Amino acid sequence: MARRKNHQKFTSSRRPGGARRFFALTLVLGIMGLLGLRAFQLQVADHNFLQGQADARSLRTITVQPMRGMITDRNGRPLAVSAPVDSVAADPVKLAASPTRFRELEKALGMGRGEIQKKLKRYKGKRFMWLKRQLVPEQAEKVDALNIAGVWLKRDFKRYYPFSYMASHVVGFTGTDNVGLEGLERAYDEALRGVPGKQRVLKDMTGRIIERVENLQSGVPGENVVSSIDSRLQYIASRELYTAVKKHKARGGSVVVLDVNTGEILAMANEPGYNPNNRKGVSARAFQNRAVNYTYEPGSTMKTFTILSALSDNLVNAESRIDTSPGYLQIGRFTVHDHTNMGMLTVSLVLKKSSNVGAAKIADRLSNERMWKTLDLAGFGHAPGSGLPGESKGRLPNYSGWKRSEKITMAYGYHIAVTPLQLARAYGVIARGGRQFPVTILKHEEPVDGEQVFDPKKVAQLTRMLEGVVEKGGTAPLAAVDHYQVAGKTGTAHKIKHGAYSKKDYVGSFAGFAPSSHPRLVVAVMIDEPSNGKHFGGDVAGPVFRNVMAESLRLLNVEPEIGPDSPSIRRADVRSGGVQHAG
C-alpha cells in the first residue's frame, strides 16, 4: 500500500508541470508565429505603404532662386554681378536638441557666445531659420565638417559691385535676400530677379539634400539691365567731384553728364558716397542720390531762362540796354543787390557778368504766366522720368499766386527749387535748339526728336550770350575747355538755415554744353556748402565742369572746333585772370 501511495503521489505531481510546459511552449510558438506573420506583412504586404511614409518624412519641395541678372554699363562692363555663395540654415527644433554643439557652431560662424540660444528663442516652434547668410568659403567648410543635426548649407547668391564707390548711387544695392533697395537694383528689381523654380529633393536626418528627385518648375534667370552709363565718363565725373568736394571742404555735390542727342545719362556722380560692397557704418545721408532728389535754389543759372522768356516775347534782344545803377533795386521793402555797381549793361552782359539787378529788371517786364511757362517748358516742376527711383520734381509754384517780389527773385534763382538732373535737362533743351527731350538711365542709342517748345532763332541768340560767360570778363573762365566752345552759366545761391538765408552757406553751380555749335554733351555741376574760402559757382563748380567736359569729349572722339591759334578763350586767358565774381 505504501508503494502505491508513493506512486500515486509521484504520478499526480508530474501531470501539472507538464501542462505548464506545454502551455508555455504553445504561447511562445504562437507569439513567434504572429511576429513572423507581421514581419511578412511589413516586408511584403505593407512595403509600399511604409516606403511611402519614409519618403514623405524626407522628401521636401524647395524653392530654387534663379541667378539675378547683371547690370552693365552701355559698353557691357559689369556694374553689378551675382556670385554663388553658401548660407547656413537650421531647423530650430532639431538644433535645440544639440545644446552641447552650440559653442563650436558659434565659433565656426564668428558669432558671439549665446547668440544661437537667442535665435532659438526667437524662432521657437518654427522649423526654419537662417543662422548666417553669405558665408565666406572657410566658414562654409567649418560648418559642413561639424555635421550637426538640423544644420545645413544652402546655396545662395551674393551681389558684387566691381566699380564700388564710383557708381554706387546709380547702381544701388540689394539686401541679403537679393531684393533691390536702391538705384537701378530697386528700379528694375522685378526684371533682375527672374522667376524662382521648384524642386522635390530627398534630405537626410540632418537636413542635407542627398538627392534631387524631381524638377517641378524650371526657374527663369533674371534679365540683364544695360544702363546708359559710360563707365569711363563715370570715373572722370566721380574723380573730379571727389577732388572738388575735398578741396573746398564742401558738404557734398553732384555731377550729371547727358548725351544731347539721345537724352542718355552718361555719368551721374554724388558726394558723399559709399561702397555698396561694404555698407556697415554708412550714414543714411551717403545713400542719397543728390542728382535726382536733392533740391536747392539754383541761383543765377536761372537767369538763362529769364532772358529766354524776354527773348521769346520780343521784349529784349542781345544788345538791349539795361541800367543796373546804382547796383541795387528796391522792390517795396525788398532790395535786389549786385556785388558792385555795373552801370549800363546790354542783355548779353547781364548774363555774362551775372547781374541780379539786370535780371530783375528784365523779369519785371514779363507777365507771371510768360515766365512760368518758360520754366515749365524747360522741365522745372516736373520729375525728369529717367527711370531712377526717388526723383524729385523740385518746386515751381503756380504763377497765379506770385507776388512781384517772388517773380523778381525767381529771375535770379530764388523761390524755385531744382535738382541737378533737372538743371542738366533744362540746359539740354537749350543745347537742342529749344527742343524738349526725355532723359533715361537705360541705354538708348537712337536720337530722340522731342517737341519744339522754343523758337530756334531765339535759342541761338541765347547760346551766343552763354558763350560769353566762359570768356574773359565773364563769371566762369575757369569752365572754358581748350579747343571747344562752351556755352553755360554759373550759379551761386545762399542757403536757408534756421528759417533765414545764411551769410556763409552757399550752393555753387555751373551748367553748360559743348561744343556750342553742334552740342554733344550737357554737364551740370553742383557743390553744396563749400567752406574753404571760395564759394562762387565759377570758382568751385567751373573747374569740375571743364575737366569732366574736356576728358569726356576726347574719349567720345568729338572733333575740336577751335584751333590752338583761335582768338577764342584759351587757358592762357584763364591764367591771366579776369574772373567776374557774381552769380
More confident residue, 255 or 98: 255
Q: Does residue 27 fall inside a structural domain?
A: no
Average pLDDT of the residues in 374-391: 97
Tell me, yes or no, whether 164 and 259 share the same domain: no
300 carries an active-site annotation: yes
Task: Please tell me the pTM assigned to this model.
Answer: 0.83
pLDDT surpasses 60 at 42? no
Q: Tens digit of pLDDT for each residue in 456-478?
A: 999 999 999 999 999 999 999 99
Under the banding of pLDDT at 50, 70 and 90, the label for residue 15 is very low
Range of the domain at 296: 231-274+286-575
The reported pLDDT for the residue numbered 13 is 41
Q: Does residue 5 fall inside a structural domain?
A: no
Tell me, yes or no, whether 469 and 527 share the same domain: yes
Tell me, yes or no, whether 195 and 71 share the same domain: yes
pLDDT surpasses 80 at 58? no
The reported pLDDT for the residue numbered 9 is 40
Average pLDDT of the residues in 437-466: 94
The reported pLDDT for the residue numbered 447 is 84
Question: What's the CA angle centered on 305, arms 299 and 306, to 5 degrees?
Answer: 85
Tell me, yes or no, whether 529 and 554 share the same domain: yes
Q: Does residue 197 fall inside a structural domain?
A: yes
Which of the residues 168, 238, 300, 309 is marked catalytic? 300
Tell me, yes or no, whether 488 and 413 share the same domain: yes
Q: How far apart are CA 63 and CA 78, in angstroms?
A: 27
Q: Does residue 177 fall inside a structural domain?
A: yes
Tell me, yes or no, whether 201 and 253 share the same domain: no
Q: Tens digit of pLDDT for each residue in 148-206?
A: 988 988 888 899 999 999 999 999 999 988 899 999 999 999 999 998 888 787 877 66
Tell me, yes or no, whether 296 and 213 share the same domain: no
Q: Does residue 40 fall inside a structural domain?
A: no
From 185, 207, 223, the end of a domain falls on: 223
Q: How far apart are CA 230 and CA 147, in angstroms?
A: 48
Average pLDDT of the residues in 28-50: 59
Q: How many domains does the chain have?
A: 2
pLDDT surpasses 60 at 89? yes
State the chain's maximal CA–CA distance in angstroms: 167
- Percentage, residues of the chain above pLDDT 90: 70
Which residues make Cβ contacts (< 8 Å) with residue 348, sequence separation at least 6? 318, 319, 464, 465, 468
Q: Does residue 493 fall inside a structural domain?
A: yes
Q: How far apart are CA 185 and CA 195, in angstroms?
A: 16
Average pLDDT of the residues in 308-335: 96
Q: How many CB atoms lie within 10 A of CB 127?
A: 12
Q: How far apart are CA 222 and CA 281, in angstroms?
A: 30
Tell me, yes or no, whether 147 and 265 share the same domain: no
Q: Does residue 22 fall inside a structural domain?
A: no
The reported pLDDT for the residue numbered 54 is 52
pLDDT surpasses 60 at 98? yes
Question: Which CATH number goes with the domain that contains 490?
Answer: 3.40.710.10
pLDDT surpasses 50 at 219? yes
Instruction: Annotate 424-462 with b (16+ C-beta within 10 A) or e (fewer).
Output: bbbbbbbbbbbbbbbbbbbbbeeebeeeebbeeebbebb
Q: Tens digit of pLDDT for each residue in 261-298?
A: 999 999 999 999 999 999 988 998 999 999 999 999 99
Q: How far apart are CA 48 and CA 74, in angstroms?
A: 59
Q: At what angle do helices 420-431 and 456-469 cross, to 10 degrees?
A: 120
Tell me, yes or no, whether 68 and 215 share the same domain: yes
Tell me, yes or no, whether 258 and 170 share the same domain: no
Tell me, yes or no, whether 300 and 427 share the same domain: yes
pLDDT surpasses 50 at 12? no
- Average pLDDT of the chain is 89
Q: Does residue 520 fall inside a structural domain?
A: yes
Question: Which CATH number goes with the domain that contains 137?
Answer: 3.90.1310.10
Tell me, yes or no, whether 459 and 515 share the same domain: yes
Q: Tens digit of pLDDT for each residue in 119-158?
A: 999 998 898 999 999 898 999 999 989 989 889 888 888 9
Average pLDDT of the residues in 72-99: 93
